[in-house]
Amino acid sequence: MPNSDISISIPPKLVAELRAAQHVAVLTGAGISAESGVPTFREAQTGLWAKYDPEELATPYAFQRNPRLVWEWYDWRRELVAQANPNPGHLALAELEQRMPKFTLITQNVDGLHQRAGSRNVIELHGNINRTKCFDQGGIIDFWPPTTELPPRCPRCGGLLRPDVVWFGESLPQKALHTAFTAAEQCDLFLSIGTSSVVQPAASLPLVALEQGITTVEINPNPTPLSARVTYMLPGPSGQILPVLLETLNQP
Ligand SMILES: [Zn+2]
Condensed to tens digits (0 to 9), the pLDDT of residues 160-213 reads 999 999 999 999 999 999 999 999 999 999 999 999 988 889 999 999 999 999
- pLDDT tens for 141-168 read 999 999 999 999 999 999 999 999 999 9
Q: Which of 23, 114, 126, 178 is catalytic?
A: 126
pLDDT in tens, 231-249: 999 999 999 999 999 999 9
* CB burial of residue 131 (10 Å; 0-12, 13-18, 19+): middle
CA of 161 to the centre of ligand 1 (A): 8
Alpha-carbon distance 155 to 138, whole Å? Answer: 13
Q: Which residues surround ligand 1, an ion (CB under 5 A)?
A: 134, 137, 154, 156-157, 159
What is the 153 CA–ligand 1 centroid distance (Å)?
8
- H or E element in which residue 210 lies: helix 204-211
Cα 156 to averaged position of ligand 1 atoms, centre (Å):
5
Quick check: 225 and 197 in contact, CB under 8 A? yes
Q: How far apart are CA 199 and CA 205, in angstroms?
A: 11
Compute the half-sphere exposure of residue 66: CA atoms within 13 Å on the CB side of its CA. 11
CA angle, corner 163, sides to 144 and 28, nearest 5? Answer: 135
How many angstroms does the Cα of residue 74 sit away from the middle of ligand 1?
A: 19
Cα-to-centroid distance, 158 and ligand 1 (Å): 6
Q: Is the pLDDT of residue 2 over 60?
A: no
Q: Is 114 a catalytic residue?
A: no
pLDDT category at 6 given cuts 50, 70, 90 is: low
What sign results for the dihedral spanned by CA atoms 157, 178, 217, 195? positive
pLDDT tens digits, 35-75: 999 998 889 999 999 999 999 999 999 999 999 999 999 99
> Whole-angstrom Cα distance, residue 99 to residue 115?
17
